[in-house]
Each structure stands twice: as structure tokens, then as C-alpha cells.
Structure 1
Amino acid sequence: MGDRKKIVFLARWYPHRYDSMYGLFIQRHAEAVSAFHDISVVYVHADENVKEKFEIERQYENNVDTIRIYYKKNNNKAINIIRFFRANRKALSLIDRIDIIHVHILTRLGVIALFEKKLHHIPYLITEHWSRYLPGNDFNGVIRKFVTRKVVKEAAMITTVTKNLGNAMKNHKLLNDNYKILPNVVDTNMFVPSKHDNKTVKIIHISCFENKSKNISGLLDALKIIKDSDIDFLCEMIGDGMDFEVMKEYCKQLGLNGNVIFKGLLEGNELASALSQGDFLVLSSNYENLPVVILEALSCGIPVVSTNVGGIHEVINNENGILVKPNDNRNLAEAIMTMMNKCHTYEPETLRAPILEHYSTTKVGLLLFHYYNEIKS
């Protein structure tokens, strides 16, 4: 497939010593394309426990050269920003050769990439994952917008995981002639259908338990409506986060403890097993981009009920699930009850087929390979 290029990921989110799930989708992109190009990842993290200004970790993880730098967190925001930039520059100096820089999440890392382009003539592309450009979110500030527009304009390519996010960026005048789609990666060897015969319908919810965006309280309210209709069900709530304990207490107040189980954080095979044993997935987010868990559910052969936010409508339709308006608990409850009656009519392999075609490790890795080869270095 031609010469292997040296690609450096500058990642704003990436799994680290305190959170193995943080930016996992970026790690999967790196691993997917590592079969075709040589990949190094740079991730910088503020850490109040670091004794020195910088603590460097470097190791190979699934064929990816991974450099993590933890810098001593300061109470002064300006000092933290300076240390963030210095740490990223220090990491780049450890890499012998760089053909292309791949920025994951703007804006600060884009500034570094732009600097490298101007100083060393290294081209860069940007993949944006953040939903902050969507309506109602916090892409504000004159300086931030000016800098981001400059960084985006100078990039060789902009990729997003959904058309919806790309359009939202363009609406903010983040203009570039080369916008493309880069799907998230699904481990289709791990997330596979499994035979199960649940006597009670088992609903699965997976999120980071941040109620402002994920609206777990709204889902619990919808489940309360279903319970009050004398319909039996079991809902497994998987994940952890800032509002985990608050949601457990709210569930108790609603009298749902007999129907809702909080499983906590599950990873890898444990997560895949729990998902494949469910009858369908439910998400109730107020805003999203395109959650990987939706793709993983379909890969497991189970349908999805979700609020129609972000780019979710680009994947979920009448053939594989039900979409509902956000912030409408009764509508959500009705959709869940409808799915309880029809979830067993879906063919798992039919739900899984598009995931194999577009989101597998090999397919996304090949797509990235071709994107990199379009860029002159």
C-alpha cells in the first residue's frame, strides 16, 4: 500500500491513568490506522499529584507509540495553559520524524499544529468530536472564534463523525474546502449478537452519568410512567460519572429500585456481554454528537430508542429503532413501551450488517489510510 507515513495524533481526550475510558474513541482511531501507517499519540494532562513540572510516560500500546505527559496543575489558569503548550511541544520533540499531524479536538491543539506547519512545513488535519458547536452549547468568545477559524482554514482536511457536526461547524464560519466524514470505530469482534431469552424485557442504558447532557433523570421519569402503567421491565444503567449517586437517589425517590439496577462502569468484554444480553438500548440525551454505544448496540444486534439529537438520525431510523423528541418524557415512555412489544421482531444480523460495512476497525483504518495519502507532506 505504499510507504508508511509517520502520523502524530495530538489528542485533547485520551485514556489515561485516572480514566481508562476518556477519549477511547480516539484511541480506537489510532489503533485502526496503525496497521497502515506509523502512529504516535501525544496526550497532555493536568495533574495536581505530579511532583515535578512534567512527568513523561512513553510506551507502545496495541502498535501505537503513546506519549503521555502529566504536568503539575496550578491554581492559575494562565500558567496551566503555558504548561499545556510546553508539554505538547516537549512531546513532539521526542518524535524523530513527523509527516502529518492529526489534531483531535480544537482549539489549543490546532494552534500547536498551525505553529508546526508554519515553522516546519508539516501539514495537519483536524478531527472534531466535541458537540460544543451544536445549537445551545458553548462555542463563544470573539478570540476563540477568530483563532479557531484560522486554524480550521489552514488545515489540509477537516473530519467529523457526523454530517450534522460538520454542518454546525460551518454555521460558525469554520470554513474549509475539504470536510469529510470519519466514522467512529466499533470492535465488531467484541460487540457481537448473543442468544438470550429474557423473561422480563431488559432495557440497557449506557452513559457517563452527566445529567445536564445525558438527561438520566428524564429517562427515570419515563420509566416511572411505564411502571405506573403496571408494565414489568428491568433497566440496567451502565456507567459512572459526576451524577451517578444523585441519579441512584432519584431512582429510589421514584420507587424504581425494583426495576432499575445501577451496574457502574463496565469495560471491554464485560460491557459487550451486558449490551448483547439486553433487548434494546435507550438513550435520553439533551444533546449529543453520535454516541459510539449506539453503534455498539447495533453491532450486538439490538435496536435503539433514542432522543433525536445531534447526528443520531444519521444512523437510527424506523428500520433499527425509534427516535423521539428530546425533553418529552411521556413521548419517551411511549417509545420504550412500543419497543418492548416489538424488540424481538428485529433480525440481529440485519441490524449488525451496516456496522460491519462502515464502522469496523479495518474499514475505518483503511479510510484514514486513504485520507492521509491525500495530504501532501
Structure 2
Amino acid sequence: MRICLISYEFPPFVYGGAGTYAKNIAEKLADRGNELYVLAFGGTKGNYDHKNIICHRLGNSGLPRPLWIPSYWLALHRSFERIEKRTGGFDVVVGNGFSELSLPKRHNAPPRITVMHQSAKRVIELVRPSLLERIQNFSNEMGIAPLFDPLLVRRSDKIVAVSNFVKQSLVEDLKVSEGKIAVIHNGFNDFYKEMGEKEYLEARRRYAHDEKGIILFVGRINDRRKGLADLLKAFSLVRDQIGSKLLVAGSGDQTDMKAYIRSMGLEEDVNLLGKVTDEELHTLYTICDLYVSSSFYESFGLTLVEAMSAKKPIIARDIGGISEVVSNDNGILLQDCSISGLAGALEEVMHNLNKYEQIGQRNREYALEKFSWTKAAGMMERLAIGLVECHER
């Protein structure tokens, strides 16, 4: 099949889960012999370095960042038909989130699938961002997306939800019929890294003294949905009891978070690493004793699966689609989502590491069995084939 994937985020412009999704689903669909034409943001010319993938870069990265996505939408609107004709036509169009916003529904157009990572209306209700935050994040689900989700749904022939939680949210919030939505769980990048004892100890010592445990958090640090402030509060309550270092890996402006850490006197115990490379992330997942998700909104919880693939026990709040990914068999799934509940879970795991290390060992097998980008791509391909066959009748 000739598949057009419309995704604002695509390597090297990847900032979150949508970009990770686009990269992996495109590569696995291409590995199945499909021709992938990716329409992504960025000024970089040339093909993406993967067999069967051609990437067209749209928009102007030379503009101020708030104008990047409007420039992408404008270029998509102007260029889509030209690219389609040049390639000989597409069998199906797949839109990643609201990347496809500026592409109108056309008569006799190929069938369209829209991948929905969340209900933007639900995000707004849970996070309750200020007007300033909505303006600052106007190009994502906390900004203008709630205004346009209904339009995307109407234009689409089929919706792919990344979890049953997202499906139910779309049914309730946008009145989408259940039959229009297919649930295809995300896969994950395998972050398991074999290390010899010497390499392992040297890697740990780069971040913490030998007597210290290591707790890992991965997520955008200035995204309130990730609940980092809650984790820091919980950590401060038990840091003397658990004797651990908290490592925070993720992009975003660190100014406010550094001030917050200083105000609690946690400078020696919390390390803000910023955005890290994949290789560094492999190392962090391998050397940590515990992975924590303190999010109060997650549609899926990709980092949890990554951590489990690295044989780590997890702590997560039971919100959104998290319970589709983990249970108490994988660590601690918190029903008590309070600061004290989170603090208690940290103390429980770090005081009983032998028990939870055994859970971590089992987590890898669980993650490999349940979640796979290859499996997700196969389901997407079958869905697309069914739409194409109906379209041709």
C-alpha cells in the first residue's frame, strides 16, 4: 500500500509521545513492505534514512517557534495535492493527532484514518490550564485542539485510539460512535541494556553514591500533567528514610523547577538532567532501582512500558489509561493519588528492593508479550486494507 502519514512531529523534530508514535509506526509499516510518504515539519531536505520511507518537510523552522505549526498547516494545505500527484496517489491517509487539521475533506479522496492520543476536551477539564497557559500552548491539546477535535472526527473515516480510555473519552466528549473507533495500543522502544558489573557500577556512580538508591522520572518537566511537583513533594517527605537520588530526564524550561527544588532544599538529592539522548535514556532505565510516573493524566503511559522492558518495578497513579498498561503485579498502582500516598509507595519499594527487583525481572516478559510496534503496525495495516477495500466498492 501507498500510505501518507501526516505528522507534525517526526525525527529529528520529536518533542513527545506523538513524535515517538509517528517514528515507530512509520518504520514498522515500511518494514511490512508499504510505501510511506511522511509529511512532517522542518526545513531539512532529503529522504528519511529508512527503507520505503520518503519524508517531505513542510513549514518554516526559521520562524519564531509559536509560528512553526501554523506554517506547517499552511504548507500542508498548499502542498498536499501536488505531493499526492507526484507520488501517483495514496491508498490511505493517516493523520497523527491534529497534524492534518488544514487538510479539507475532498470528494473521491483516499480514506482517512486519524490517530487520537487523547480527548483534548478531557485534558482541559482535568488540567484546568490558565488563559496564559492556553495561549502559550495554543498549538497543542491544551490550546486550540479542543476547538478542532470535532472537525477531525467528522473528516475521518476511522479513528484509532491508543487506549480504551481514549476511546471512551471520545465517545463521551465528542459523541463519536463506538463503531468508528478502533483501539490500537502503542508499542514501545526496548530500553533493556545488558551491562557487566563494572560498567553498571560506573554508570550508577555518575549519578549517585554507592549507598544511594536511584529513582527515575521521565517526562517534560514543565508539563503539569506529568505531576513532577507532586513527586518532588512526596520525595521530600521520605528522602531521609529512603536515602535515594531522584533523576529527572525530560525537556522543558528548568527555571521554575530549579527554584522549586531549592525552596525544598533538595538540590543534593534531585538531578535535573534535561533532554537526554536515547543512549543516555537506555543507561538511566538500566541503572535505576525504581521508575515512577506521577502523572495525573495519561492516555497510555509509554514510559512505563519502556521502564518495564528494562526490568524495573514501577509506581504509577491509577488514572486515565494507566490501568491498561500496569497493575499491582508490575509494582504499585496507586488508588490513593495524594502526595502522602505517593510518598508511602516510594518508601515501600525502596525499603523492599529485593521483592520489587523480582517484580521488575518479570516485567520485561510482560512488556514484550503485550506491547509491540510490530503488532500495532499490523493492526493499522489491516484496518487500512479494510477501508481501502470498502472505498473501492
Q: Give the TM-score band, short-chain normalised.
A: 0.7 to 0.9
Give how far 1:111 is off: 6.0
Q: Could you tell me which residue of structure 2 aligns to residue 144 of structure 1?
A: 148
Alignment-mate amino acid for residue 42 of structure 1: L
- Partners of 2:265 and 2:55 in 1: CA distance: 47
Q: 1:93 to 1:337 in 2, by over 3 A?
A: farther
- Aligned positions of 1:88-237 closer than 5 A: 88-106=80-98, 109=100, 112=103, 114-115=105-106, 118=107, 120-134=108-122, 136=125, 144=148, 146-152=150-156, 155=157, 157-172=158-173, 173-175=175-177, 177-188=179-190, 190-192=191-193, 199-227=211-239, 229-237=240-248
Give how far 1:222 is off: 0.8
Give how far 1:94 is off: 4.1
Q: Could you tell me which residue of structure 2 aligns to residue 375 of structure 1?
A: 387
**Do 1:31 and 1:62's aligned partners in 2 also have CA atoms closer than 8 Å?**
yes
Give how far 1:338 is off: 1.0
Give how far 1:149 is off: 4.0
Q: Could you tell me which residue of structure 2 aligns to residue 57 of structure 1?
A: 45
Give how far 1:61 is off: 2.4
1:277-320 CA deviation, whole Å, 9 max, x = no partner? 11111121121212311110000010111122210111111100
What are the ranges of 5 or more consecutive residues in structure 2 without an aligned counterpart? 127-141, 202-209
1:62-107 CA deviation, whole Å, 9 max, x = no partner? 222111112375999998554452244554444333111111113x
Once superposed, what is the RMSD of the aligned Cα atoms? Answer: 3.1
Q: 1:324 to 1:88 in 2, by over 3 A?
A: farther
Q: Could you tell me which residue of structure 1 aligns to residue 35 of structure 2?
A: 38
- Partners of 2:147 and 2:359 in 1: CA distance: 51
- Are 1:339 and 2:349 matched, yes or no? yes
Q: Could you tell me which residue of structure 2 aligns to residue 51 of structure 1?
A: none
Give how far 1:206 is off: 0.6
- Are 1:263 and 2:265 matched, yes or no? no
Give how far 1:371 is off: 2.6
Q: Could you tell me which residue of structure 2 aligns to residue 50 of structure 1?
A: none
Alignment-mate amino acid for residue 28 of structure 2: A
**Do 1:128 and 1:160's aligned partners in 2 also have CA atoms closer than 8 Å?**
yes
Farther-moved stretch of structure 1 (289-298 vs 83-92): 83-92
- Partners of 1:57 and 1:192 in 2: CA distance: 33
**Do 2:214 and 2:290's aligned partners in 1 also have CA atoms closer than 8 Å?**
yes
With normalisation by structure 1, the TM-score equals 0.82
Alignment-mate amino acid for residue 114 of structure 2: I
Alignment-mate amino acid for residue 340 of structure 2: R
Give how far 1:185 is off: 2.4
SS, match of residue 9 in structure 1: strand
SS, match of residue 332 in structure 2: strand
- Partners of 1:186 and 1:145 in 2: CA distance: 26
Higher helix share: 2
Alignment-mate amino acid for residue 186 of structure 2: N
- Partners of 1:312 and 1:240 in 2: CA distance: 22
- Partners of 1:192 and 1:374 in 2: CA distance: 39
SS, match of residue 187 in structure 1: coil
1:18-58 CA deviation, whole Å, 9 max, x = no partner? 8698712211111111111121111136xxxxxxxxx5724
**Do 2:188 and 2:372's aligned partners in 1 also have CA atoms closer than 8 Å?**
yes
With normalisation by structure 2, the TM-score equals 0.79
Q: 1:121 to 1:235 in 2, by over 3 A?
A: same
Q: 1:213 to 1:89 in 2, by over 3 A?
A: farther
> Equivalent of 2:4, from 5, 8, 13?
8
What are the ranges of 5 or more consecutive residues in structure 1 without an aligned counterpart? 46-54
- Are 1:28 and 2:24 matched, yes or no? yes
Alignment-mate amino acid for residue 207 of structure 1: G
- Partners of 1:256 and 1:300 in 2: CA distance: 27
- Partners of 2:78 and 2:112 in 1: CA distance: 19
**Do 1:110 and 1:126's aligned partners in 2 also have CA atoms closer than 8 Å?**
no
Alignment-mate amino acid for residue 151 of structure 2: V
Alignment-mate amino acid for residue 209 of structure 1: I
Q: 1:204 to 1:39 in 2, by over 3 A?
A: same
- Partners of 1:259 and 1:356 in 2: CA distance: 33
**Do 1:284 and 1:306's aligned partners in 2 also have CA atoms closer than 8 Å?**
yes
Q: Percent identity?
A: 18
